[in-house]
Structure formats: C-alpha cells, structure tokens
Amino acid sequence: MKPFEPEWVFFEPEALNYPLGEELYRRYKGSGIPVRMTTSHNRVTGIPGRTEAEKYRNAKRTLVVGVRKTLQFDTSKPSAEYALPLATGCMGHCHYCYLQTTMGNRPYVRVYVNLEEIFAAARKYIRERAPAITRFEAACTSDPVGVEHITGSLKRAIEFMGRQELGRLRFVTKYSHVDSLLDADHRGHTHFRFSINADHVVKFFEPGTSPLSDRLEAAGKVARAGYPLGFIIAPLMIFDGWKEGYGRMLEELRDRLPPEAEEGLTFELITHRFTKAAKRVILKRYPKTRLEMDEERRKKKWGKYGRVKYVYRDAEMEALKDYMEEWIGRLFPSAKILYFT
Ligand code: SF4
C-alpha cells in the first residue's frame, strides 16, 4: 500500500510563515496537485463533490496545511495526560472510527506547521507537573504515521520528547510506513503502538489502511529500533469464527515479532461499541457496511454527559476477555495487558 497522496491541498496564508508550511507549499506547487488558499483550516470550502458521499470521500483525499492556534491541549485520560496536536483527521476509511462523529462535516486531513509553538506548550505542561512524568498522546485526532511522509512532524516530536527528562510520547497507528522513524533519537521515551485486528475486521471494516501483515512487519522494525512496543486490539468484535480469527492473528504476531519486542510489550483491548449518533453517521457514509450495530443485541452503558453507548452483553464481554487474556498470556508470557474495556 502506497503512502497517502492528497488530490487537493489547501493552505492557510499564515502557514507560509513557518519553515514547514513554506516547504510544503513549494513541494505541492510544483507537483501538479491543485493548491488553493483557505482563510481558516477549520472552514475549508471548495472541496468538489456532487453528493454528500462524494464530498466526504473527496474530503478524505484533501490535505489542509494550517497553524494550530489553540495551544491549550485536550486531556487524554487515562492513558496519557494530554493530547499532542500534530494533525486532525485521517485518510483511512475505518467504518467504526470515532472521528466520524467527532469531526462532523470537516473530515479533511489537517496538519499543523507551528511545531515549535506546539512543543513549547508541551514543555510548559511538563514543567507544571514536575517531578511527575507527563505523557502525551499524538493519535487522539488522527493517525500521525499516516501523514508522517508529508510532514516529518512525528519524528520531530519523538526527538523532542527524547530530550525531555519528564516527557513521554505515545501514539497508535494502522499504517506501516515507519522507516523514517527508525533512526529517531527516541531514548525510550516513545511508546510506539500498532492497532491490529483479526483478518475479518481488517478486510471488511478498515479500508484505506495498511494490510495487517505490513503492520506486523513494521512492528518488527520498530522493536528492532529499540522503541517500547505495544498493540491495541480494537475494536474487538464478535463475528462468525471470531475465536479462530483472533487466535490466528495472535499466532501470526508471535511468529513475526523479533525477540527484542518481548521486553516491555503491552496490549490494550477495546471491545466494539457505538452510539446512536455514530450509527446514523456510519450508515450514511458506508451504507453497505456489515458492521453489526443492533441495539437489541447490546447492553446500554451510560458514559459522560448521560450519553448512551451500546456495548456487548456481559456474557460476550466475558467470553472476549477470557479468550484474549488466555491467548495473550500463553503466547506472550512477559507482556502486560494494560486494560480491557
Ligand atoms: Fe480512524 Fe484510525 Fe482508521 Fe484513521 S486509521 S480512519 S484514525 S480508526
């Protein structure tokens, strides 16, 4: 799978005042890809498309280069203290992706060029919490590896965090284009995680992302480069043959990982859930999806602000938990399962 190449690129005028913005402008101006200006990266108009669905697909092929104005970082509990904003939006088409609801009608891929300002804000947050460690999550609103070949921002963030005695970085990806990150001076401060799933889920619900075997190969490279490595298995789904599917995936993972990956290996397990609002958006954007979202077959769970999520019923949750924990324990005896939810 080739790295993402946009079909349209928009620039905020202010982005050209930063070296990365200027470099990207020069690169795209000479590339034959249409380049336009936009007054704000939050309101981009002029993305072509006759229907809603076409506009959505085209927006996912659109890159917007802007300046991150809000330097107040969102919190990212429980796995990190703050979200590190390097990009917003993703070129992937995972049917279940929560960005569908959080990004509303702005699904285009935004990258931010004022990296020094973003890092200065991170430094301030680290100082405030000293002597405690402060963790930053770089994949809250995008897949940062998916745009790394365009911006190089993730490598800079990794090296920035390597220099911070009390700063740590983490992110997760479904992309395998990791080569440019392998020689980064990370000093063990970055927890590099891959999102993986059974073949069935990757095939039917994750179009536009790297194939599982490529992600596993990339994970091996990342382990050999000395990064602390982890896997997020999400969303864990019940489908016909799910036990065999997840068992096979874990066996393949064990066979492909080099011995150095074992040290400090982590797993995070997240079961599939949906809200009514997400279901509406998903069915509009992917009308033929085979994603099971039958409220009758689920248990209601009240989240923040009284929002109802539909999760698997207790018996299915237990079956998933027992099965995954047993297999991970057997195949990766020294790995740690950070949580199952
Ligand atoms: Fe969403 Fe991640 Fe898929 Fe991108 S790769 S669409 S961020 S789930």
pLDDT value at 268 more than 90: yes
The answer to whether the CB of 94 is under 6 A from ligand 1 is: yes
pLDDT of residue 41 exceeding 90? no
Q: What is the pLDDT of residue 303?
A: 83
Tell me the average pLDDT of the chain: 96
- Mutate which of 86, 93, 140, 209 to test ligand 1's pocket (most atoms within 8 Å of Cβ)? 209
Residue closest via CA to ligand 1's atom 6 equals: 92
Q: Which of 56, 57, 93, 97 to mutate to test the pocket of ligand 1 (most atoms within 8 A of CB)?
A: 97
Residues linked to residue 271 through DSSP beta bridges, in sequence order: 236
pLDDT at position 161: 98
Is residue 236 lining ligand 1, measured as CB closer than 6 Å?
no
Using the mean position of ligand 1's atoms as its centre, give its distance from the Cα of residue 201 in Å: 13
Q: How confident is the model at residue 148 (pLDDT cuts 50, 70, 90)?
A: very high
| Residue bearing the CA closest to ligand 1, atom 3 | 94
CB-ligand 1 contact for 99 (6 Å cutoff) = yes
C-alpha 280/C-alpha 310 separation (Å) is 14
Q: 60-95: per-residue pLDDT in tens?
A: 999 999 999 999 999 998 889 999 999 999 999 999
Higher pLDDT pick, 14 / 307: 14
- CA torsion 259→261→262→264, rounded to 10°? 150
Q: Which ligand 1 atom sits nearest the alpha carbon of residue 96?
A: 8
The yes-or-no verdict on residue 1 having pLDDT over 90 is: no
Q: What are phi and psi of 104, to 5 degrees?
A: 50, -125
Domain boundaries, given as residue ranges, for the chain: 65-340
Nearest to 198 by CA among 289, 140, 97, 272: 272
ipTM entry: 0.99
Fold observed for domain 65-340: pyruvate-formate lyase- activating enzyme (3.80.30)
What is the model's pLDDT at position 318? 98
* Separation of CA 94 and ligand 1 centre (Å): 6
Q: Specify the pLDDT at position 106.
A: 85
Q: Please tell me if the CB atom of residue 172 comes closer than 6 angstroms to any atom of ligand 1.
A: no
Which atom from ligand 1 is nearest to the alpha carbon of 139? 7
276 band by pLDDT with thresholds 50, 70 and 90: very high
